[in-house]
Amino acid sequence: MSVIVPCPCCNKPISRSAASCITCGHPVKETLDSRFNKKVTLIGIALLFLLIVFVKITNFDVPSFIKSIIFKN
């Protein structure tokens, strides 16, 4: 079953799996995929930033934590 989304160019309803808009011919699949990739990238950067802030705020000692996991002290 196909999901209906608005065309990024003319806002007419089109199938998510369509290669281009029937009305205006705008390539749709590449646009929607690039938007998804941008969102995933931004979420990844935000999570990395939050991890770094957590480590700095809590003074978490990463090297000794890794050593304790590896050597099971």
| Per-residue pLDDT band at 62 (split at 50, 70, 90) | confident
- Specify the DSSP element, H or E, that contains 13: strand 13-15
Q: Comparing C-alpha atoms, which of 64, 44, 63, 62 is closest to residue 54?
A: 62
- Residues 2-56 have pLDDT tens digits of 688 888 889 999 887 888 888 998 887 666 666 777 888 889 999 999 988 888 8
Q: Tell me, what's the pLDDT at 1?
A: 54
Q: Tell me, what's the pLDDT at 6?
A: 87
Biggest CA–CA distance in the chain, Å, is: 66
Domain boundaries along the sequence of the chain: 4-71
- pTM score: 0.44
